[in-house]
A = this chain, B = another copy of it.
């Protein structure tokens, strides 16, 4: 597999995802935005609110990929253990961050009690990530960006994070839909993939009411090559008597 020069992983910290109570939507949001920045998301992990599991995952991922984005576990309650776990993963102390404390003081004024002050306890030497929604900041240590789990808050934070990342050519994709099945086009499609190794061709069958067919996704960072591979796939579909619908996604 040919991969981008800039890579990423997401680490979801959340019992609520593993219990099935909450449907994650953060991966999809982050993934689409990374595509626009030319950053290739190569792994996602979901782990429980468990210090050992978080430390193990974050240390593996940060040594493997350019960037790691964690979501979840940065609130004010006992189950919010991301900051403490990240501090241990990096071997630094958990300390009161003066800038974070100032933000909390400004927001909560006289209501800044002991529980809320907990949100200023962050890994030593971290950089803050602005929270435009509920103020308590997120943080970055090295190549690890720790964001909120709540989608509306995470998205606000990620908008800021996007300005901090190294970028490359965006990922383009064309999506070709036709009512031929994989069994018909599979062999030829594999040959086209072999011809264009720098693009990725995915095949996703669908059954919808009386419609049976396949969506073919041609994706990569080399736009002219995607154009060539798309033309080859369209020609192949025509040769089997199919009719193709093409969508182009340009970030």
What residues make up the interface of A, taking CB atoms closer than 8 Å to B?
1, 12, 15-25, 27-35, 40-50, 53, 75-80, 108, 111, 113-116, 118, 133-134, 149-150, 152, 171, 173, 175, 182-187, 189-190, 193-194, 200-207, 217, 219
Closest B residue to A111 by CB, please name it.
Answer: B183
Q: Which residues of B have CB within 8 Å of A185?
A: 77
Does A217 contact B43, Cβ atoms closer than 8 Å? no
Of the residues B27, B42, B150, B186, contact of A77 by C-beta under 8 Å: B186
Q: Which residues of B have CB within 8 Å of A186?
A: 76-78, 115-116, 118
- A78 and B189 contact, Cβ closer than 8 Å, known pairs A46-B27, A48-B42: yes
Report whether over half of chain A's contact residues are helix, strand or loop; otherwise say mixed. mixed
Q: Which residues of B have CB within 8 Å of A217?
A: 15-16, 19, 21
- A189 and B77 contact, Cβ closer than 8 Å, known pairs A15-B200, A115-B183: yes
C-alpha gap A102/B203 in the complex (Å): 25
- A19 and B173 contact, Cβ closer than 8 Å, known pairs A45-B43, A45-B45: yes
Does A48 contact B171, Cβ atoms closer than 8 Å? no
Closest B residue to A112 by CB, please name it.
Answer: B183
Q: Which residues of B have CB within 8 Å of A20?
A: 27-35, 41
- A205 and B75 contact, Cβ closer than 8 Å, known pairs A183-B116, A187-B115: yes
